[in-house]
């Protein structure tokens, strides 16, 4: 990830789990309090007296150390920042949230989804990232497109918009396998009721009863009806598995969105 300079640390810091919240059968949101992590004194993205700004769209590295000294490290996008937690309400000082999908063969995610509990320690590096971020005051409309767990940093952006009082038009297109796999369901419903925010869901395998759209991946027709028109010059954030991001980016370019306006974050193997 590239972008403007941010005051972030490359050092590992001690953290502690302060809360967990089940999102789906295989995913949890984990709230962490990190030593020395400051919240901006005023305005999203402003320098923090305690160290650095924390911005929606950034990620952290999480390190676990086994009794025999073996260490495993994985990166997770922030789903909440100190100043913008669930429903746009602030978290406690030095607190962040990550939302983790369990990978059955993973070394870190099974512990974060099924093991970690309030009071348990963890090591954190970051937050880092300066390109795939949204700051209050960036201006212009924003289109968010997420696949599966890739919705996490996009929800952080929605929360930041609410917390900062921005009037920018935001639209989220969320692609997910089934209703049971939906992250942040109640919150997304509530956010969609706010002026200037729209949330649309595409189910790829199973839909709720009576759903008007048949199951399937995001297609060109979905962009025509569920994505902001390229004539509005929105900044478009796309996050999800590699294949999802590649497919959606191709559809966006074909519809006329400017390459420079499309920011992507991807994960998974080729």
Which CATH number covers residue 120?
Answer: 2.40.30.10
Q: What is the mean pLDDT of residues 32-44?
A: 65
- Report CA Rg, the chain: 18
The confidence score (pLDDT) of residue 205 equals 97
User: Looking at 99, 128, 157, which one is the last position of a domain?
Assistant: 128
User: Do 101 and 149 belong together in one domain?
Assistant: no
Answer yes or no: is 5 within a domain.
Answer: no
Residue count of the chain, please give it: 270
93-116 pLDDT per residue, tens: 999 999 999 998 899 999 999 999
Distances (CA, A) of 9 to 13, 119, 130, 150, 180: 9, 24, 13, 24, 37
Q: How many domains does the chain have?
A: 2
| 228-249 average pLDDT score | 97
What tens digit of pLDDT does each residue of 206-236 get? 999 999 999 999 999 999 999 999 999 999 9
User: How large a percentage of the chain has pLDDT more than 70?
Assistant: 90
pTM given for the model: 0.90
Residues 38-46: what's their mean pLDDT?
41
Whole-number Å distance between alpha carbons of 123 and 181: 28
Residue 98: strand pairing partners: 30, 78
- pLDDT over 80 at 60, yes or no: yes
Host domain of residue 25 = 12-128
Same domain, yes or no, for 156 and 253? yes
For residues 96 and 207, state if they share a domain. no
Can you give the CATH number for the domain in which 251 is found? 3.40.50.80
Pairing of strands 95-101, 27-34: antiparallel
**What is the C-alpha to C-alpha distance for residues 56 and 79, in angstroms, rounded to an integer?**
8
Same domain, 105 and 153: no
Mean pLDDT, rounded, for 172-193: 97
**Mean pLDDT (whole number) for 77-99:** 96
Buried b (16+ CB within 10 A) or exposed e, 82-115: bbbbbebeebeebbbbbbbbbeeeeebbebbbee
Backbone region of residue 140 per phi and psi (left: phi > 0; alpha: psi in -120 to 50; beta: other values): left
**Region of poorest pLDDT, from 8-12, 57-61, 108-112, 170-174:** 8-12
SS3 49: coil
- Rounded to the nearest angstrom, the gap between the alpha carbon of residue 44 and the centroid of all alpha carbons in its chain is 16
């Amino acid at each position: 990830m590239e972008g403007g300079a941010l005051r972030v640390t490359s050092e590992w810091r001690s953290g502690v789990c302060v809360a967990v919240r089940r999102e789906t059968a295989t995913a949890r949101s984990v709230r962490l309090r990190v030593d020395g992590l400051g919240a901006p004194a005023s305005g999203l993205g402003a320098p923090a007296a305690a160290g650095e700004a924390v911005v929606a769209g950034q990620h952290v590295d999480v390190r676990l150390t086994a009794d025999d000294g073996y260490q495993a490290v994985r990166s997770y996008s922030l789903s909440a920042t100190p100043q913008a937690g669930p429903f746009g309400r602030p978290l406690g000082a030095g607190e962040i949230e990550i939302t983790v999908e369990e990978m059955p063969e993973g070394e870190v995610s099974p512990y974060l989804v099924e093991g970690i509990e309030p009071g348990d320690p963890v090591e954190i590096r970051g937050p880092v990232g300066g390109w795939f971020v949204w700051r209050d005051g960036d201006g212009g409309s924003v289109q968010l497109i997420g696949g599966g767990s890739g919705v996490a940093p996009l929800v952080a952006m929605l929360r930041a918009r609410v917390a900062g009082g921005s009037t920018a038009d935001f639209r989220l297109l969320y692609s997910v396998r089934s209703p049971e796999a939906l992250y942040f369901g109640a919150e997304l419903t509530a956010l969609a009721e706010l002026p200037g925010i729209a949330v649309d869901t595409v189910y790829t395998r199973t839909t709720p009863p009576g759903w008007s759209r048949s199951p399937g991946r995001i297609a060109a027709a979905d962009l025509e009806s569920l994505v902001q028109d390229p004539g509005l010059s929105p900044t478009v954030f796309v996050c999800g598995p590699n294949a999802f991001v590649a497919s959606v980016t191709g559809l966006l370019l074909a519809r006329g969105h400017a390459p420079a306006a499309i920011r992507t974050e991807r994960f998974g193997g080729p």
